Structure 1
Amino acid sequence: MLKSYSVFGTNSNFRTIFTFKARHTRQNVIKVISANYASIARDKVTSPEDAVKDITDGVKLLVGGFGLCGIPENLIGALCKHQAKDFIVVSNNAGVDNWGLGLLLKQKKIKRMISSYVGENAEFERQYLSGELEVELTPQGTLAERVRAGGAGIPAFFTPTAYGTLVHEGGAPIKYDKNGKVEIASSPRQQQMFYGKNYIMEEAITGDFALIKAWKADRAGNCLFRKSARNFNPPMARAAKTTIVEVEEIVKIGDIDPDQVHLPGIFVDR
């Protein structure tokens, strides 16, 4: 007697239904799955410079990390050697004077920062107050949710955070001119009441490239982060058109338990 067995998957490499004779099912399924895993494996990029070579002027970069924890320092270093400039950078922090995103600021490669806490970077402060840098300050939780929403395909959401402040009312200085006057100010947010409580609307954030730091990744791009270094990295990866991951160790497919995968390989491009 013949039996039919079906193998399904969300990956395009699995979009086939296979029917086998009962006595051959297990062996054939193993061969099919093994072949398809091999086809989705990504070859590692050994040079940070090669990984960022197609980043051009004016792109929006989503950069993972919290302070100096979990930042893609080698990818940032490669961008310092790259000719591209005028980046719009989304990151919780802006590094410090001589490390992290502070290195890009020092070379004046960043046109606008969308950040939360930036108080430990003297060069950041100098550029902002002198009119050399545009800054969009965003509450930390709101920043995290704007990026998460972008990766989830949600265009906007309502939050009670910052209701009644400059974030809500608009007019917060984004850019000063050389005379210290506000040249670009923030726009007011739409407000709405739900269940007797006031909320403001925030738009999602997406980007052209995400620069991510992970602890381990397999050849299919499945990533594992180490403790608090995970922070903003997974949502940033999901919200970008192209995601570049810097990892400490690359392992074979299957070496990372599926239950331990923090960022599925479908979100990783290189």
Structure 2
Amino acid sequence: MTTPEATPRGEAALLGPAEVRTLAAEFDIRPTKQLGQNFVHDGNTVRKIVAVSGVTRDDVVLEVGPGLGSLTLALLDVVERVVAVEIDPKLATRLPTTVAERAPELSGRLDVVLEDAMRVLPSQVPAEPTALVANLPYNVAVPVLLHLFAAFPSLRTALVMVQAEVADRLAASPGGKIYGVPSVKANFFGEVRRAGSVGRHVFWPEPKIESGLVRIDRYPTPPWPIDEEHRRRVFAVVDAAFAQRRKTLRAALATWAGSPAEAERRLVAAGIEPSARGEVLDAADFVRLAAVDPIG
């Protein structure tokens, strides 16, 4: 799938290594492992992220964990509006000032929401976001990603930077060793693919792990119901299937179904071999399985 080129809209002065350290020192902002904070300080990297995301002038972007504003400035050059969700009060307070100083003609396009991305809801956001573009906190990247896709049906695409290993798992195909819960749950919402790699040297502080880009394009017409109740039913089956991934589905799903015999009945009804293991099923298989009514 090809993505449109990002078209610059302004003259934002992006943050470099010196500016990132100066801002952090000025406001006594110390990156914390607990919040998964690693600040990007390379202009080429943030421009690459914006370009690969495919966002355009019509997009309202939801950015999670904007930090000191490196990616925010690059996004404001291109899109109509950025809604930045930040959990750190110091960072949330400083971000509008940073944008006003470095790109005053773009500052009116920024909204900052002081909230935990794991809990943020549409009612707290001033505009309907169409795209998620973010350097996600690595310690909670998958839960945040899944929450946002479930809570914001207006999101059509996502381009997120996560730990390289997590990126591989999210984009994995059925049958591989790294295919698992994140792979299936992300694919429940849309098509998932690896979209690039990011080196350690573009961050401050420099992490000990490699980073990767993942793109998700929500299905234009959902192939199955996406309401909260249905999603919970499907995700419960997925969790059960991979909780004991070495076991056959008949055994792994025994507790979920009530017994091995009932698990087998439901698997057969869904057209799935009871002796198979969870890693060979795709999202559509789990959706069919979750839809089988229990006896009685």
- Normalising by structure 2, what TM-score? 0.34
Q: Which has the higher contact order (CA 8 A, sep 6+)?
A: 1
Point out the structure with the larger strand share: 1
Which has the larger Rg?
1
